Amino acid sequence: MIKIVRGRPTVWGMESTDSRNAVEELVDTPWLERRLLEFLLYKLVQANLMLMAGNSRFVQPALREVDQVIERVRQAESYRGTVVTRLAAEWNKPAASLTLEALAVEGPGWAQPLFQEHREGFLRLVGEIERITLENRRLAAVNLDSIRGTLDMLGGQQNHTYDASGRAESGGRHPMKIDEVM
């Protein structure tokens, strides 16, 4: 939930201040979203560190926290949508036309640099989030392959490889330390 506290939205209630102009509210609203995206990036970095360390015990709790932050981002986006709809009605324009890029050019003069700053901040954060997300996916796949390999080895599964034509080829069963001990 989002609440206006000291002129800025927060995530605890959906109240809006009627005395505020919709433009002022729309200028302030992206600060919350940017803080939430920074927090999302932080949580993704935490998950990345767990994956890099191979510490699978804490990966799932880290990913649950990522999901919680994503839900908070959705709430903030919903709130922003409400403010944009209100401003669009005041300006008699379609809500879809009130993008940060458009507001940075066509908004009130005093607000244009603020909308431009928000736009640049969002682009930077989204780029960082995309990079760390791709890295996390890559690390998760590597860790999963490693776990599968270990389980196959412990279970005595045959090694599966591919020949030059790309066809699956089963290697013979190799003696393992477990077999030698037993």
pLDDT in tens, 114-172: 999 999 999 999 999 999 999 998 988 887 666 666 566 666 655 556 666 766 665 55
**What φ, ψ does residue 59 adopt, rounded to 5°?**
-65, -45
Identify the burial level of 34 via C-beta atoms within 10 angstroms of its C-beta, where 0-12 means exposed, 13-18 middle and 19 or more buried: middle
Q: Which residue has the tokens 């409400």?
A: 82
The pLDDT tens digits of the residues spanning 50-74 come to: 888 888 788 888 889 999 999 999 9
For residue range 15-55, list pLDDT tens digits in order. Answer: 444 446 888 999 999 999 999 999 999 999 999 998 888 88
Q: Check residue 160 and report its DSSP letter.
A: E
pLDDT over 90 (residue 93): yes
Residues 92-118 as b/e (b if ≥16 CB within 10 A, e otherwise) read eeebeebebeebbeebeeebeebbbeb
| Residue type for position 108 | P
What's the CA gap between 136 and 46, in Å, rounded?
10
Distance CA 80, CA 100 (A): 12
pLDDT of residue 169: 63
Of 62, 71, 89, residue with least CA distance to 1 = 71
- Angle, helices 59-91 vs 22-53, to 10°: value is 160
